[in-house]
Every structure is written in C-alpha cells, then in structure tokens.
Amino acid sequence: MLNASQQRSSASDLKPYEEVAATAAAGGSSSASPFVLPDTLLNAFDIHCPKCRCLVIRRGVATQQDADKDVEVPSPAATSAPYPLVPAFNWALSNMMAFENVGFTKAVPGGDDTRYLSCADCDVGPIGYHPPTLPKAFLIAADRVRYNTA
C-alpha cells in the first residue's frame, strides 16, 4: 500500500461532483452517467477526500447506487458548504477492504447502529455510511467527494 502522501493528487486534477455532472450535461444527448465506465458501470475516476485529497476509492471498484431517500447523512462539520442530506447517489462497495482509505465512526449511543464513514487521513466526515441492515454495503455520498478526471 502506498502511503497517503503518494496518493494525493494536485488540486487542479480533482473536480467536485457538480463539475463532473455539468460536463456531462454540456455534452448533450447521452444519457449515460459521466461517473461510470460505459462497459463495466464501475466508477470512472479515482475518488478522493474533499478536504485532504487523499485517495478513498480507486477507479473501477465501486458501483453507482440510487440513494435511499429515507436515509439522511449528517453534513460534515469541517466543511463550509452544506451538502445535501440525501446524496445525488451513492458509491457502493461490498467490502471494506476495497477502500484505499476510510475511517469508521462509532455507532451513535441511543441511535440505531448506522456507522458513518469518514476520511481515514484527515477525519473529515461523514462522507458516507454503513447501514446496519446491510452488512455488505459501504456507501459513499457521490456529492461529498472529489474526482480525479485527469
């Protein structure tokens, strides 16, 4: 495994969700998601932490999954811009080992057993969650991460 500093990309290569979505809209007729590889439907770009920019999910390992409208993910405290509580969609992994870097919050006392996912390096989060009812679902909010489109 590379250490975190080797995995960081330069700032100019990383685009927020809105920017990647906008390039697709400008592209015209295609209804295909700009975020996935057309042949495998796996994530087309390396996915990075929005704050420290370390690599969270490598290209080609996550699937695009509709967000559960009933699940609200709290907005990260460390960011100035509030994120939608229900993401545009989620990146789904079935195995925690498939992440390059990810951290887990403890279950909230008195709450349900939802565990939130954060950046293992700088601790910003939640950037996603792990639903208690789905042991093999690790979900990252698509609009809380950055994409290496270089």
List residues binding Zn ion (CB under 5 A). Answer: 49, 51-52, 119, 121-122
Return the number of the residue (43 or 118) whose C-beta is nearest Zn ion: 118
Return the number of the residue (78 or 108) whose C-beta is nearest Zn ion: 78
Least distance (Å) between residue 148 CB and Zn ion = 14
Least distance (Å) between residue 118 CB and Zn ion = 8
Least distance (Å) between residue 128 CB and Zn ion = 13
Return the number of the residue (65 or 79) whose C-beta is nearest Zn ion: 79
- DSSP output for the chain: ---HHHH---GGGEEEHHHHHHHHHHH-S--S-TTB-TTT-BBSSEEE-TTT--EEE-TTS-EEE---TT-PPPPPTT-SSPPPSS-S-EEEES-GGG-SS-EEPPPPTTS-S-EEEE-TTT----SEEE-TT-TT-EEEEGGGSEEE--
Least distance (Å) between residue 96 CB and Zn ion = 17
Return the number of the residue (36 or 57) whose C-beta is nearest Zn ion: 57
